[in-house]
Amino acid sequence: MPYLRDRVVILRSVPFREHDRMIVMFGWQHGLMEAVARGSGLARSKQAGHLTPMSEIDVMIAKGAMYDKLAVARITNHHRGIRKRLGALAFVGSFFDLFERMQKPGIVDETLYALLVEVLEAGESIPDEPSRERTGLLYAVAALKLLDRVGLAPALTHCASCREEMRYGEFFLIPHTATLTCADCYRVLRSANPNAEMIDQETLKLIRFLRKEPIRNVFLLTGRADQFVRVSSAILCALKAAPLQKEPHGLYTISALLSQK
C-alpha cells in the first residue's frame, strides 16, 4: 500500500461512519487532503486527541482505493492558546473556512502553508480579548494575504483603468473584478458597475500598510473602530471576485460568536 508523509494543519474534522472521523487538512508538500482517522485504533494510542482542528501534525497517510487512511499522526503544535480567546477562535475559524473554500486538491503551495501557520501564531498571541472590529480586521488582513498569494488581490497603487497613480481623492473597488479605479474612470464605469465600494485615501493607505505587515501587527494598530470596519469592508469586497465553492461564513460567524458574550 503506498504511503505519503507530510506536515499538515488540520482544517476540519467531521464524523465519518460510526466510530471514525474524516480529517480535512492542508499539507506542506501535498496541499488539501482528506483522510479517515480510525476512531477505535487511534483511541488506544497516543495519537488520540491530536487530531483537533488548528493543530499542526506530522502524518503518514495510506492511499486507499475508496479513501485515504491516516496511519500515523504525531503532534507538532496544538496551538491551544487560540481556544483561550473567543475572538482568536472566531478569527482562525473563519479564516480556515475561507481558506478551504479557495483550495482544490492537488494545489501545492508552501507559501499558503506558511500563511496558515502565521494565522495560527497570530491567533495564539492575541494579548487580550479583541473587539469585534479588530477581530474582523484580523480576518480581513489574513484574507488579503491569501488573495495576494493566489494572485487575486487588487492593485493598490495605480488605477486599473487609466494606470494613473492613486494619490488623491476617492477610489472605487469593483467587486466582481476586484479592481480599483480612480473617481474619473469610475464615472465611465458606473452604469455597468453600480455596486462598487467607495474607498477613501485614509482607508487605502491603511490597506497598503497592512498588506505588508505581519498579521500580528494588527494588535498594535491604533485607530478608530470605524476605520477598521472600512478597511475590512473594502478587503471583503475584493474577496467577492475570488472563485469560492460558496460564500464563506466570514464575519457572520465572527458577529454571531461575539454577540453571544
Q: Name the residues that contact Zn ion, by CB under 5 A.
A: 159, 161-162, 182, 185
CB neighbour class for 234 (10 Å; exposed up to 12, middle 13-18, buried from 19): buried
Q: ∠ at Cα 113 (109, 116), nearest 5°?
A: 140
What secondary structure does DSSP assign to 134-171, as a single string? HHHHHHHHHHHHHHHHTT-SPPSSB-TTT--B--SS-E
- In angstroms, what CA-CA distances link 188 with 47, 182, 183? 60, 11, 9
Query: Which residue's CB is nearer to Zn ion, number 91 or number 172?
Result: 172
Strands of the sheet containing 171-174, edge to edge, are 179-182, 171-174, 197-199
Q: Tell the smallest beta-carbon distance from residue 251 to Zn ion (Å).
A: 30
Q: Tell the smallest beta-carbon distance from residue 209 to Zn ion (Å).
A: 22
In 95-247, where do the E strands start and end? 171-174, 179-182, 197-199
CA dihedral 20, 25, 30, 35 (to 10 degrees): 10
Query: Which residue's CB is nearer to Zn ion, number 73 or number 178?
Result: 178
Q: Tell the smallest beta-carbon distance from residue 236 to Zn ion (Å).
A: 23
Q: Tell the smallest beta-carbon distance from residue 78 to Zn ion (Å).
A: 49
Query: Which residue's CB is nearer to Zn ion, number 112 or number 185?
Result: 185
Q: Tell the smallest beta-carbon distance from residue 140 to Zn ion (Å).
A: 25
Query: Which residue's CB is nearer to Zn ion, number 128 or number 165?
Result: 165
Query: Which residue's CB is nearer to Zn ion, number 91 or number 186?
Result: 186
Q: Tell the smallest beta-carbon distance from residue 104 to Zn ion (Å).
A: 34
* Rounded Cα–Cα distance for residues 58 and 5 (Å): 7
What are 99's three cell numbers? 481558506
Query: Which residue's CB is nearer to Zn ion, number 83 or number 158?
Result: 158
